[in-house]
């Protein structure tokens, strides 16, 4: 399955050719939110973005790259880490979400700290516990690192090594990272059949989960409180910190469930080690609060009731969201 | 079979740019004998000169502020003539940082120079404070050096990526907390986008004083002196107490109140219709 189609090329005075790339959007996906007219994809732009994603020069110690926390085989998450480790092994307070299908999101990070993909990398780069760097410094380092001058020149019309082009290249790369070739997608496209238990799981999922984990992205992009007991040590109020409104306290972005089998641990603070624990939580441990999502409060019953048998079926269905093509796609690899 | 995709996009961009300065039958103006206009922003505090680091008299909340920083983004500048015709300065060049800062490493920025303004007699200046949704949604494309400049003036967030529209800081005392002075509590008022629904971006239109137009043509270089009343940020429309918000207003209801005050803090004090080549103050 090819996601990228070559639609044209651009010849530059210096004799190189930069080939335009059109993003192929799977038919069952929602519309692309990223503005591709402002930042048209090109082969060289995407390739530069890939190189930057895996370059430790982006951190103060020169050792932590985007790819250190966002590892491909775990759908670009920091597998096995509750909190992500950055420079000098300092720990953050949030679990690393997957970098996949970014072209379709409205808001980024668990709390929607930014509404534009181009602006997102500023957060990890400048955060002390992550990369502890400044954008200005990163650009200086890249100017002095061999190869980058040429790569920027070949990727962008004005050829400058500057923060605008740096961030546009990272976005180009991330925009192409589409996961849409799981068993579920083949099922939707009538290429494979589900087993009986997967089929049962899908029906249960649609009934109990799909109001929030909606669309082919398995997220409606909204911010909600799904009833996790706040961790008193962190007291992370999520969306409330970004907007400053009390009504947003303890709300987090509904995460995509694509590749969920390989992206553990789960939730914004990585508190659950398995999908069984997640379903057990929805079944019996949802905590009431002022901002608890109304969908999880039916009269006096909190949460989402499931039997042991139903939980097995739901997990069987969730396992159909693993996309091995994406997890091994060389276009996204460090090489 | 290969189309020249990228180039055609670039070409169509430049056509749009050209088209935007040549229409005349739809309320926009012909650009003949263009001149230069300077907007100078001068800060005050409730009718007095704003002196960074010096205490001011208490405001209506009983809070006496000592301001150490007043930085803000002025954007989307439009000049309006006596017939209500509008000249919009090209949007891609219409973002500026105005700064008065106790940090000596940051040069004060108080002037905006608009080049190529069509000849005319203008009666009002309209502008935005902050970054509008359209610009925000463009991300970094076309941002050029503006992001870096904003970051140097502490006009970007790092924990929630985006621009600060206003960065107003200092210290304050209340009658309860003791004598007026730099001691007391530090305060921070940072205004920016909370969400797509609550953008906190505002616009204002300020008229020139009666009888004085901004006269633009190739021989003139007028200067428009605008007074920014720092005190009014917290009082103009609705009073907002720093103490009530724990000394920091960076979002939520407090920011919404400040955003509603923002358009009311500016006024044109006077206009100097200088001849080009001369400038006065």
Looking at the structure, tell me whether residues B187 and B85 fall in a common domain. yes
The answer to whether domain A11-179 and domain A183-324 are alike in fold is yes
Looking at the structure, tell me whether residues B5 and B36 fall in a common domain. no
Q: What is the pTM of this model?
A: 0.86
Q: Does pLDDT of A237 surpass 90?
A: yes
**What are the tokens at B62?**
């009983």
Q: Which residues of B touch A123 (CB under 8 A)?
A: 158-161
| CB neighbours of residue B279 within 10 Å | 12
Fold observed for domain A11-179: Cytochrome Bc1 Complex; Chain D, domain 2 (1.10.760)
Q: Would residue B132 count as lying in a domain?
A: yes
**Model confidence over B169-203: pLDDT tens digits?**
999 988 665 554 445 789 999 999 988 889 999 99
Q: Would residue B214 count as lying in a domain?
A: yes
Spell out the domain ranges in chain A.
11-179, 183-324
Partner B contacted by A246 (CB < 8 A): yes
Looking at the structure, tell me whether residues B110 and B222 fall in a common domain. yes
Looking at the structure, tell me whether residues B212 and B75 fall in a common domain. yes
Q: Would residue B43 count as lying in a domain?
A: yes
Q: How many domains does chain B have?
A: 2
Give the model's pLDDT for residue B223.
97
**Model confidence over A20-69: pLDDT tens digits?**
999 999 999 999 999 999 999 999 999 999 999 999 888 777 778 999 99
Give the model's pLDDT for residue B13.
33
Tell me whether strands B120-129 and B202-207 are parallel, antiparallel or unpaired: antiparallel
Looking at the structure, tell me whether residues B11 and B51 fall in a common domain. no
Asked if B195 and A39 come within 8 Å (Cβ–Cβ), the reply is no
**Model confidence over A251-300: pLDDT tens digits?**
999 999 999 999 999 999 999 999 999 999 999 999 999 999 999 998 78
Looking at the structure, tell me whether residues B14 and B48 fall in a common domain. no
From A114, which residue of chain B is nearest by alpha-carbon distance?
Answer: B161
From A137, which residue of chain B is nearest by alpha-carbon distance?
Answer: B148
Chosen for mutation from B136, B141, B246 (greatest number of chain A CBs closer than 10 Å) is B141
Asked if A37 and B9 come within 8 Å (Cβ–Cβ), the reply is yes
Q: Would residue B175 count as lying in a domain?
A: yes
Give the model's pLDDT for residue B179.
52
Q: 3-state SS string over chain A?
A: CCCEEEEEEEECCCCCEEEEEEECCCCCCCCCCCCCCCCCCEHHHHHHHHHHHCCHHHCCCCCCCHHHHCEHHHCCECCCCCCCECHHHCECCCCCCCCCCHHHCCCECCCCCECCHHHCCHHHHHCCCCCCCCHHHHHHHHHHCCCHHHHHHHHCCCCCCCHHHHHHHHHHHHHHCCCCCCHHHHHHCCCCCCCHHHHHHHHHHHHHCCCCCCCCCCCCCCEEECCCCCCCCCCCCEHHHHHCCHHHCCEEECCCCCCHHHCCCECCCCCECCHHHHHHHHHHCCCCCCCECHHHEECCEECCCCCHHHHHHHHHHHHHHCCHHHHHCHHHCCC
Longest C-alpha distance within chain B, in Å?
78
Looking at the structure, tell me whether residues B151 and B245 fall in a common domain. yes
Q: Would residue B281 count as lying in a domain?
A: no
Give the model's pLDDT for residue B16.
32
Give the model's pLDDT for residue B29.
56
What percent of chain A lies above the pLDDT cut of 70? Answer: 90
Q: Would residue B229 count as lying in a domain?
A: yes
Is the ipTM value over 0.90, yes or no? no
Give the model's pLDDT for residue B25.
43
What distances in angstroms separate CA B268 from CA A97, B48, B203, one per listed residue? 50, 15, 15
Chain B residues 25-84 within an 8 A CB cutoff of chain A: none
Rounded average pLDDT per 10-residue block, chain B, 281 residues:
34 32 45 89 95 91 93 98 95 94 90 96 97 88 80 81 91 70 78 91 97 93 97 96 92 96 97 79 51
Q: Would residue B146 count as lying in a domain?
A: yes
Print the domain residue range for B177: 31-272
Phi, psi of A124 (to 5 degrees): -60, -35
Looking at the structure, tell me whether residues B72 and B5 fall in a common domain. no
CA B154/CA B157 separation, integer angstroms: 8
Looking at the structure, tell me whether residues B146 and B174 fall in a common domain. yes
- β-bridge partners, B63: B174
Q: Would residue B16 count as lying in a domain?
A: yes
Fold observed for domain A183-324: Cytochrome Bc1 Complex; Chain D, domain 2 (1.10.760)
């Amino acid at each position: 399955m090819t996601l990228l189609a070559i639609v044209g090329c651009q010849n530059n005075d210096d004799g190189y050719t930069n080939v335009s790339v059109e993003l192929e959007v799977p038919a069952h996906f929602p519309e692309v939110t990223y503005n591709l007219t402002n930042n048209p994809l090109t082969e060289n732009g995407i390739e530069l973005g890939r190189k930057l994603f895996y370059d430790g020069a982006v951190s103060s110690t020169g050792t932590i790259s985007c790819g250190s926390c966002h590892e491909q085989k775990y759908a670009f998450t920091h597998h096995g880490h509750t909190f992500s480790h950055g420079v000098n092994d300092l720990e953050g307070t949030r679990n690393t979400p997957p970098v996949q299908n970014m072209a379709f999101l409205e808001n980024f990070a668990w709390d929607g700290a930014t509404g534009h993909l181009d602006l997102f990398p500023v957060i990890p780069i400048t955060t002390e516990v992550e990369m502890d760097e400044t954008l200005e410094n990163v650009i200086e380092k890249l100017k002095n690192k061999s190869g980058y001058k040429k790569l920027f020149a070949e990727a962008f019309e004005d050829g400058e090594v500057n923060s605008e082009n740096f961030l546009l290249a990272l976005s180009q790369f991330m925009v192409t990272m589409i996961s849409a070739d799981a068993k579920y997608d083949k099922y939707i496209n009538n290429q494979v059949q589900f087993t009986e238990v997967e089929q049962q799981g899908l029906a249960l999922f649609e009934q109990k989960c799909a109001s929030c984990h909606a669309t082919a992205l398995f997220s409606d992009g909204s911010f909600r409180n799904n009833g996790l007991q706040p961790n008193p040590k962190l007291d992370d109020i999520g969306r409330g910190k970004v907007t400053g409104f009390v009504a947003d306290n303890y709300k987090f972005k509904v995460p995509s469930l694509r590749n969920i089998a390989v992206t553990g641990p789960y939730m914004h603070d990585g508190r659950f080690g398995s999908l069984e624990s997640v379903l057990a939580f929805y079944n019996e441990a949802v905590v009431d609060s002022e901002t608890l999502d109304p969908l999880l409060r039916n009269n006096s019953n909190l949460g989402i009731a499931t039997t042991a048998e139903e939980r097995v079926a739901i997990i069987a269905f969730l396992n159909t969201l693993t996309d091995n093509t994406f997890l091994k796609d060389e276009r996204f690899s460090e090489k | 079979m290969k189309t020249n995709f990228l180039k055609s996009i670039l070409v169509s961009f430049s056509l749009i740019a050209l088209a935007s300065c040549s229409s005349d039958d739809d309320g926009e103006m012909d650009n003949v004998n263009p001149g230069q206009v300077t907007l100078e922003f001068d800060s005050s505090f409730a009718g007095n000169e704003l002196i960074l680091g010096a205490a001011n008299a208490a405001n209506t909340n009983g809070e006496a502020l000592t301001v150490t920083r007043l930085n803000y983004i002025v954007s989307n500048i439009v000049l309006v003539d006596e017939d209500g015709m509008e000249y919009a300065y090209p949007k891609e060049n219409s973002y500026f940082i105005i700064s008065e800062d106790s940090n000596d490493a940051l040069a004060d920025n108080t002037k905006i120079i608009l080049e190529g303004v069509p000849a005319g007699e203008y009666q009002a200046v309209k502008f935005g404070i902050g970054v509008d949704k359209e610009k925000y949604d463009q991300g970094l494309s076309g941002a050029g050096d503006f992001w870096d400049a904003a970051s140097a003036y502490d006009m970007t967030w790092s924990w929630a990526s985006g621009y600060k529209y206003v960065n107003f800081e200092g210290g304050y005392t209340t009658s309860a907390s003791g004598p007026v002075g730099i001691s007391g509590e530090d305060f921070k008022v940072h205004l920016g986008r909370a969400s797509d629904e609550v953008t906190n971006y505002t616009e204002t239109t300020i008229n020139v004083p009666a009888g004085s137009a901004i006269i633009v043509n190739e021989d003139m270089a007028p200067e428009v002196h605008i007074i920014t009343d720092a005190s009014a940020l917290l009082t103009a429309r609705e009073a907002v107490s720093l103490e009530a918000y724990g000394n920091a207003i960076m979002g939520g209801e407090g920011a919404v109140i400040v955003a509603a005050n923002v358009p009311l803090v500016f006024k044109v004090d006077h206009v100097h219709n200088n001849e080009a080549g001369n400038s006065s103050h």
